[in-house]
Structure 1
Amino acid sequence: MKLNKKNWLLVFKILFPVSILFLIVIESENMVKSIDFNLLKSHFIELTPLKLIFIIIVGLVAMAPILFFDVILCEVLILKIKVQKLFSLAWIINSFSNFLGFGGAIGLSLRTYFFKNYVKEKSLIIKNIAKVSVFYLSGTSIFCLITAVGIIKPTFLTKMKWLKIAVWFLAMYIPFIL
């Protein structure tokens, strides 16, 4: 059997996601093995309800800009999606994208998958994601801004002084794009 362009594309469409899934499984396994559960338990015990509420609020604040990324994308694409469904899809897309990463490939793939039924051409999704991708680092920037001004004081920053510079650079991203 001779492999033509169409067959190679089919092989790639199958092998690429399988390879990514394989890498995710391997990395997840390594990550779980590296967790010090006793240390984790001691930190959870130290969490007061107020600290837990603060963590949740900071997480939501950091996630909010990227949720609005999908709102803006839907406005640009003129998609007819109910607000509740849109926020649900955006939460799913961004949670997986933030957890799995891959330089935005996961987010792009999930947005294409979820929004494909609402648009005539799939290529429009990809083109318009590029237009609003300026907001990708906004949540990270907000978190860095909170850290840079001293609201949150991670202890590892005292050990890695060079990281403070990176935190300040990322903190300046959100004021720059606004």
Structure 2
Amino acid sequence: MSSDFDSLEITGGEPLLHADYIYEFLKKYPYKSMLETNATLPDELEKLTDVIDIVSMDIKLPEYFNSHENWRELYLKELESIKILEDTNTKYYIKIVVSPTTKKQDIADIMEDISKVASANTEIIIQPVSPMSLWEDKTKLFKISEIVGKSFNVSIIPQIHKYMNIE
């Protein structure tokens, strides 16, 4: 390993589809590592909790699904993943992509559910969809942040790669 190598970020399509490979790789090469996942495969995530240093996980909102049943099924798996990370003391943070049409009540309901399985010091990142010109009322971001901040540490972080025109 070169002296300027600090850590490994594992992302992709969905890296948990390759959990066994990732586990074997990190057992052989125990690099400091971060896993970026949609967290909808909790059994696969559990396999990696002793080889991953931090997990970046998403919570998808119902507005991005064609049916509430499809969303609910995946959402319950995301909550199960949070519980696994909590139970194994694995560091993690949650990212939620919001849009100008995101319902504040959806955020409040999700925060209530997350508070049942996550510790109060959990970091939640609110990521507004880009471009920011879509946000006629930017105060909505702060209202969403206030809802999240009642229970958790919260940051608003825009999609920087879109500002830089990087795909």
TM-score over 0.5 for the pair = no
Task: Answer 1 or 2: which has greater helix percent.
Answer: 1
Larger Rg over CA atoms = 1
Task: Answer 1 or 2: which has greater strand percent.
Answer: 2
TM-score by length of 2: 0.24
**Higher relative contact order structure (alpha carbons within 8 Å, sequence separation ≥ 6):** 1
